[in-house]
Structure 1
Amino acid sequence: MNINGKRRITGRTGIAVAVAIIAGTLASFPFGAQSASAESQGAEVVGTETDAAGRTVVLREGTYNGSVGFGWTKIQQRHNIHSKHTIGFVLKAPNGGVQQGEDRLYVAYAQEITCTDTCVVTDEREVRVINKEAIYASYYGVTLNAVVGITTAYCVNPDGALSCPAWVDRAIGAEKPASASRTSETSTVTTTWSYAPKGIDAQHDR
């Protein structure tokens, strides 16, 4: 059955493909470019990570048409996450992610901190990564015959916006650029991250 351009492999074929995937050698984070060995660019594995429970998680180039898609292309274009370090950090959530059918949900939190006489959390975003552990022949028009991998990563914004604020990448990304902090005459704004929410106006150490 092909639903929304997605066709899953089951039975002996799925088992054979799974064995082949497990036997393969995968690169580690930070995500880096790899040789194009997939049948299409969208299937190309652009990196992998091992989560806190020891599971290997795959990120593919994916595809996005302005409405639907999956993978790294969708994450950048739809949700404004451009640092693969951000995804890597979320995947290291200590609980190893939460199983949701074929998917596994990973969560972390980015905080923006404003310091005057004291430091408080002035903005916070829950950041989610969803990994599909099932094997599909094709997914949104991309030929796979393999595990789909990360379908999306996004912020839970209070206004329901699809795009993460730019500071989220600076907060969670393992290699934060110099612009992670900004200073005015009265305050300094920095970013940080955690695996549990802190809450707006929470006190924060300098």
Structure 2
Amino acid sequence: MRTLPSGIPFTAALGAASLLAVFNAGAPATAAPPPPGYRTDQVLATAVHPTLGGISIRRGFWDGDTDKGWGYDKVRHKHNIHSIYAQKRVLMSPNIEQQGTSYVLRAWAGRYRCSGSACRLVEQREVKGVFTNAHMTTLHGWPVNGVLGLQTMYCVNPQSAPQCPDWVVPAIERPGTPTGVSPRSTPGHDARNGVTLRTAYKPLPRTMTRRTGSVR
């Protein structure tokens, strides 16, 4: 059973209390059922959607042996979206589809290759966040004790691969302009190599201008 790494990316906006809640919540099960007393019902954060209201992100669990789970642990370990801040951004999307008591919220993340002021989209992922406002006592045999909130979040990948590429989280964490395209490039070698990451609540444009972030 692997333990939760301490390097979960957070921004100052999440606050010290949220940070402590994650670090002190115990070790998640990734290839076996959670240990006795595991706080699957613990609320780690709440995304405040302008239309749908508060959406809880509960600890949940992920068991790779049975392919069952829900909440933060499933999103982190099965789908490689390890940042609560990134999860919150997807859950605040205005792109909403209702399915009974559940809702699907969509965002897009992309990588652009830039030369001079021109940038070309080389890779894009649609990211879907699913939450339910149904009250539950348990799910898959583990405590919820309230409205479930975030059930899962994943990338729409080729061949239905379960994990998002590593660049998706930093792309989502970057705030966008009103057009959904951030003018800021990624730090480090990606910037030097002319690669920038963008995020939006709609499919990204095929080309853009690096200096202004405008669509071409």
TM bucket by the smaller chain? Answer: 0.7 to 0.9
Residues 98-125 of structure 1: CA deviation (Å, up to 9, x unaligned): 2111211100000101002421111000
Larger radius of gyration: 1
The code of the aligned residue for 1:56 comes to G
SS in 1 for 2:170: helix
CA–CA distance in 1 between the matches of 2:121 and 2:59? 34
CA contact (8 A) 1:89 1:174 kept: no
The equivalent residue for 2:200 is 194
SS in 2 for 1:53: coil
Count of equivalent residues: 170
CA–CA distance in 1 between the matches of 2:140 and 2:186? 34
The equivalent residue for 2:81 is 81
CA–CA distance in 2 between the matches of 1:112 and 1:123? 5
- Alignment match of 1:63 (pick from 61, 64, 67): 61
CA 1:52 to 1:86, structure 2 compared with 1: closer, same or farther past 3 Å? same
SS in 1 for 2:72: helix
CA–CA distance in 2 between the matches of 1:170 and 1:111? 10
Q: CA deviation at 1:88?
A: 1.4
Residues 91-147 of structure 1: CA deviation (Å, up to 9, x unaligned): 22124x221112111000001010024211110000111001101111122222311
Taking only aligned residues, the RMSD between alpha carbons, in angstroms, comes to 2.3
TM normalised by structure 2 equals 0.72
Q: For CA contacts below 8 A with separation 6 or more, give which structure has more relative contact order.
A: 1
TM normalised by structure 1 equals 0.75
The equivalent residue for 1:203 is 207
SS in 2 for 1:76: helix
CA 1:134 to 1:169, structure 2 compared with 1: closer, same or farther past 3 Å? same
The code of the aligned residue for 1:107 comes to R
Q: Percent identity?
A: 30
Q: CA deviation at 1:177?
A: 7.2
The equivalent residue for 1:145 is 145
Give the unaligned 5+ runs of structure 2: 1-12, 26-36, 176-184, 211-216
CA–CA distance in 2 between the matches of 1:192 and 1:174? 7
